[in-house]
Chain A
Amino acid sequence: MNQVKQKLKGFMQHKEAWAVIGILIVLLFNVFFSPKFFQISFNNGHLYGSIIDVLNRGSSLVIVSLGMCLVIATRGVDISVGSVSAVGAMVAVFLLKSAGMAAAPAILCGLLAGLACGVWNGFLVAKLNIQPMIATLILMTVGRGIAQIISGGQILTINSKAYAFLGRGYVFGIPFPTIIMILVTLGVWLLTRKTSLGTSIEAVGINETSARYAGISTTQILWIVYIICGLLAALSGMIESANVSSADGNNNGLLLELDAILAVVLGGTSMDGGKFYLAGTVIGALFIQTLTTTIYTFGVPAETIMVVKALVVIFVVLLSTDRVKNAFAKLTERKKAGVENAG
């Protein structure tokens, strides 16, 4: 009994705990009310089922959130990711449609567009010292305009099989977006945790002055995270657009920045920067997707999702305030004391 308690306490020490609990709650809900949720079938060499769906549809959010996580770790935020994802998608689709480019180079150009956006954001934040929220606000509004200009204000549709594969393909029965997600997660993890980059990012987020005095190039670090974030936003935008074989400058990636921020914060990374949690971010993003898919399974109108998300946000914000944290700590402490007295 005591051991269980110890374990539980140990688990709650992890920053990722809340995201895991969130997912578990939603899954538990499904166990009772929608057991079908857990069915996985194998048809035509493809895996099907709600779980697979979550991993498939959630991939693009996971990918953006990873970029967002690094930005937030430096004590910044990138609210342009939604727009950048639209720009990335639009560039790729436009080149496929109007310039007759093949899928691979078009995707590469989409990525380059994301990179350019990241360079721009990085320039404003790292070089000009503009507050991240304001700096990325520029691209958030201008980005959609750029996408509109490229498409001439139209929604562009295409029928490139190769491009569609990015969003709808399967490899070994596994959805291709899921595979990309796994590769990106692995890549970001290797890049930050197997090099010194991760610690430098955290140092910049915790105390930029100390980091600079210690000889870390804070400009370079900031630039790197905004570039990674831009790249990943564009990638995620292309996955989404490939899934529906079209690009819509107005609506692609709408409010994506909010979901991404929510995923990061749920995953245990603080908006105040510093220590960041990649696994937590992935779980946080998947939690949001599980929630969405569950609600859809019940045929509830889409607007309800917003309400539920709002509730989750309130819950998370409350949990992360010191007052609630302390109350929580006291509660567990008192219980422990009670147990000891009884025993």
Chain B
Amino acid sequence: MRETPTVKKGDVVLSMRHIAKYFPGVKALDDVQLDLRAGEVHALMGENGAGKSTLIKVMTGVYERTSGTVTLHGQDINPKTPQEAQDLGISTVYQEVNLCPNLSVAENVYIGRQPMRFGQIDWHRMNADAVKLLESLDIHVDVTKTLDSYSVSVQQMIAIARAVDMSAGVLILDEPTSSLDSNEVAQLFAIIRHLRDQNMAILFVTHFMDQVYAISDRITVLRNGRYIGEYLAKDLPELDLVTKMIGQKFVDANTQAHRPSKDYSTVRFVRMEDISKRGLVHDFSMAVRAGEVLGLAGLLGSGRTEVAELLFGVTHFDDGVIYVGNDEVKRMNPRKALADQLGYCSEDRKVSGIVGDLSIRENIMLSLQAKKGLRRIPLKKQQEVAQKYIDLLDIKTPSMEKKIGDLSGGNQQKVLLARWLATDPKLLILDEPTRGIDINTKREIENLIVKLSRQGMAIIFISSEYEEMVRTCDRIIVLRDRHAVGELTDNQISQDNIMKVIAGGVAQ
């Protein structure tokens, strides 16, 4: 790794000018600029598909830019690969974690730069170093286990740890917090502040407004691939920021999703009774009625996702009973769940969500088609359905025949939502459905959830964002350590109470 020239706080370290990046049919970036300064945290803001990730990929050599210049410490650079960018001192955590799931945690942290001893990898030292590094970020894992034995959020923290460890001068974080809970976010911010004080230049992408203002000094806004402006965070109130992002007066920043009326039916559509799965969930019971939004709250690893996966039959329970309608289900699997009119929009869109090489249309139709069986839904009908959801969820794409893999992260998430809405389920399980979705669309999705429940759909809503849960849920079951520890209804529902119950207290 090369030496970083000494820099003073506020010096421009990295500068991008007149950057353009065209994909077939899309001008992802058009005359964009960006300046990163030493000792500052810079937030890159914009709606889904605005071009944030593309700008980062252009900077770090994942994509070749169509035109424009990038200078680092005053010198033109043109890295051809992320490795080259890394060697120049630009360390990046991309939006989609791309580590190796079947290598150990330690190997992932040190891949490509393993400590050597007598011409061989020094496993002992590598594992010890990894433990030390991860502990310093408050991540407590067995570094010899494979990466995929840990949740997305832990993987995300490991990716961050790796980047932080390698960083020299510039650190880029593309939506690092989208799968983290508040403790982990606090952890991460402590690290970022520490690095900033060491005169590192840091670029940070997020859709959480509070995080932007908590950590960043400067903000660059992009809209539709164009540069809108650079501002000091303290000079740009949130409302103005949002207006710049979406390009019109942002009417109501705090629209409450309408709390549904209480007239949902008393018919319990799905019941889980004393469901257990060794090591994952312990004695969990719940019932969800048509027309209600039931929230599952809890810290990461509390068993929220596990409950969803057991209910949908992705994993199988050891003990207990599930009833769908009046039928007892001995063994659930996704195909049966689909036939029983359940839907499950899973947490990890890359691993268990998108089918990257298929088109947006095919991805939207996937579950509806699976439900219909071999008989192909006529193309015309497919196009109608796909178009309906592209409009409804404002999916930004030049054509529904584009590969879903080429969409921006947030737009991929919308396609997955569309996939399940298209099946018209009676119970829809949403696990972090708004992850990576911009603030405006997020509100629209919240409203949609409430509206669907009003029309009689039962919804199970899982989110790390308690604010979002409070706005949409009728009832919240709180989980801790893999079992339910409390339930909140009506006016008990508040962020405070959720946190109290999680912490072991009683709601009031």
Contacts and interface: CB of A to CB of B under 8 A. Distances in A.
Contacts of A212: 314, 334, 352
B33 to A, nearest CB: 25
A212 B332 CA distance: 13
Nearest to A195: B374
Contacts of A200: 369-370
A196 interface: yes
B296 to A, nearest CB: 18
A202 interface: yes
Interface stretch (B109-117, B286-294, B354-362): B354-362
Contacts of B372: 196
Contacts of A199: 358, 362, 366, 369
Contacts of A196: 369-370, 372-377
Nearest to B309: A213
Contacts of A279: none
A215 B354 contact: no
B353 interface: yes
Given A197-B374, A214-B419, A207 B356 contact: yes
Contacts of A207: 351, 354-356
A19 interface: no
A197 B355 CA distance: 15
B374 A216 contact: no
A206 interface: yes
Size bracket, chain B contacts: 20 to 34
A199 B361 CA distance: 11
Contacts of B376: 194-196
B335 interface: yes
Contacts of A217: 335, 370
B337 interface: yes
Contacts of A209: 351-352
Contacts of A160: none
A197 B376 CA distance: 8
Contacts of B367: 214-215
A203 B356 contact: no
Contact of B352 (A194, A206, A213): A213
A182 to B, nearest CB: 23
Given A194-B376, A195-B376, A196-B376, A211 B355 contact: yes
Interface string B323-354: 00000000000110110000010100001111
B355 A210 contact: yes
A213 B356 contact: no
A67 interface: no
A3 B468 CA distance: 54
Contacts of B355: 202-203, 206-207, 210-211, 214
A210 B346 CA distance: 9
A200 B351 CA distance: 17
A16 B419 CA distance: 31
A275 interface: yes
A175 interface: no
A274 interface: yes
Interface in A206-255: 206-207, 209-217
B367 to A, nearest CB: 5
A215 B335 contact: yes
Given A216-B366, A274-B357, A275-B357, A210 B351 contact: yes
A217 B374 CA distance: 12
A215 B334 contact: yes
Contacts of A203: 355, 358, 362, 366
B371 interface: yes
A209 B373 CA distance: 19
B375 A195 contact: yes
A194 B375 CA distance: 8
A210 B353 contact: yes
**Chain A interface size range:** 20 to 34
Given A199-B362, A217-B335, A210 B374 contact: no
B155 to A, nearest CB: 15
Among A199, A209, A214, the one with the most B-chain Cβ atoms within 10 Å of its Cβ is A214
B358 A202 contact: yes
A319 to B, nearest CB: 19
A123 to B, nearest CB: 18
B371 A215 contact: yes
A211 B366 CA distance: 8
B224 to A, nearest CB: 26
Nearest to A194: B376
Contacts of B377: 196
Interface in B449-473: none
A100 B372 CA distance: 46
B353 A215 contact: no
Contacts of B346: 213
B219 to A, nearest CB: 35
B163 to A, nearest CB: 24
A209 B350 CA distance: 10
Nearest to A220: B335
Q: Which of A202, A206, A207, A212 has the most CB of B within 10 A?
A: A207
Interface in A121-172: none
B356 A215 contact: no
A214 B367 CA distance: 5
B364 to A, nearest CB: 11
Interface in B45-62: none
A3 B352 CA distance: 43
A199 B359 CA distance: 10
Nearest to B375: A195
A24 to B, nearest CB: 27
Nearest to A202: B358
A282 to B, nearest CB: 22
Give the interface centre of A203, A212, A215 by most chain B CB atoms within 10 Å.
Answer: A215
B354 A210 contact: yes
Contacts of A195: 374-376
Contacts of B337: 215
B314 to A, nearest CB: 6
Contacts of B373: 196
Contacts of A215: 334-335, 337-338, 366-367, 370-371
Given A200-B369, A209-B352, 20 more contacts: A195-B374, A196-B370, A196-B372, A199-B358, A199-B366, A203-B358, A206-B358, A207-B351, A207-B355, A207-B356, A210-B351, A211-B366, A212-B334, A213-B312, A213-B352, A213-B353, A214-B419, A215-B367, A217-B370, A275-B357
28 contacts: A196-B373, A196-B375, A196-B376, A196-B377, A197-B374, A199-B369, A200-B370, A203-B362, A206-B355, A206-B356, A207-B351, A207-B356, A210-B352, A210-B354, A212-B334, A213-B312, A213-B314, A213-B334, A213-B346, A213-B352, A213-B353, A214-B370, A215-B335, A215-B337, A215-B367, A216-B335, A216-B366, A216-B370
Interface of B: 312, 314, 334-335, 337-338, 344, 346, 351-358, 362, 366-367, 369-377, 419
Sort A-B residue pairs by CB-CB distance and give the 7 closest, nearest first.
Answer: A215-B338, A215-B370, A214-B366, A195-B374, A213-B352, A216-B370, A214-B367
